[in-house]
Amino acid sequence: MTKPVRDMRKNLRLLARDAHDGGSPFRIARFAAPRHAEAIAPIEPIEPWASLGYPAGWLEKYLTGRDTALYRFALLRENESGDVATAGYMAVRFPWLVGPFLELLAIAPAHQGLGLGAFAVARLQQAAHLAERQLWTSVALHNPRAARFYERLGFAPTADVPDLLRPGFTERLLRYDART
């Protein structure tokens, strides 16, 4: 059995180093600009952020701005020819109230539905298990496919927060309890 590593910061740093399985086409890297910028433009205008009215440039700012409690990762996908593309991003806020908060998970449309999102979340869940932490995230209620995605991965709805990001839009807070 793996020994608990209670230092969540260390586990988050290791996510980017650990995550290359022999047979998997997916990898996690620490986000670095401009090397990993190629998925920013395809992601910025998509849902759920379009309806929430996020301004042009929001993702670039989010990924590159100074924020010492935000762990930012590029999600990479290798194709059949061996070319590696930046396909999306994951950002985890830690410390947060009572455990890490998965604040952003975004896969570019051309790479959606291939298992990369589930791969990234599974790695994060593993890191939370090692640290025996609760892992949190939220989804917009107008994004029911994403809610299903998280519930399939073991997240449970805990509360609906109306008007959190924008008036008229409710966010659902979800918890994955990795303490046991």
Ligand X SMILES: CC(C)(COP(=O)(O)OP(=O)(O)OC[C@H]1O[C@@H](n2cnc3c(N)ncnc32)[C@H](O)[C@@H]1OP(=O)(O)O)[C@@H](O)C(=O)NCCC(=O)NCCS
Note the residues at the interface with ligand X (CB under 6 A). Answer: 46, 48, 105-107, 112-118, 139, 143, 145-146, 148-149
| Residue placing its CB nearer to ligand X in the complex, 134 or 143 | 143
**Secondary structure letter of residue 104 according to DSSP:** E
Give the shortest CB-106-to-ligand X separation in angstroms. Answer: 5
Residue nearest to ligand X (CB): 117
Q: Which residue, 118 or 141, has its beta carbon nearer to ligand X? A: 118
Q: How far apart are CA 178 and CA 52, in angstroms?
A: 30
Strand pairing partners for 177?
134
- Compare residues 88 and 99 and give the one whose CB is closer to ligand X: 88
- Distance from C-alpha of 76 to C-alpha of 27, rounded to nearest angstrom: 5
Nearer to ligand X, 107 or 124 (CB): 107
Q: Residue 105 Cβ, how far from ligand X at the closest point, in Å?
A: 4
Closest approach of ligand X to the CB of residue 66, in Å: 23
Name the minimum Å distance from CB 11 to ligand X. 21
Other beta carbons within 10 Å of 87: 28
Strand order in the sheet with 134-140: 26-30, 70-78, 84-93, 101-107, 134-140, 169-177, 156-166
Task: Identify which of residues 20 and 148 has a Cβ nearer to ligand X in the complex.
Answer: 148
> Smallest gap, in angstroms, from Cβ of residue 43 to ligand X?
7
Closest CA to 51 of 135, 169, 162: 169
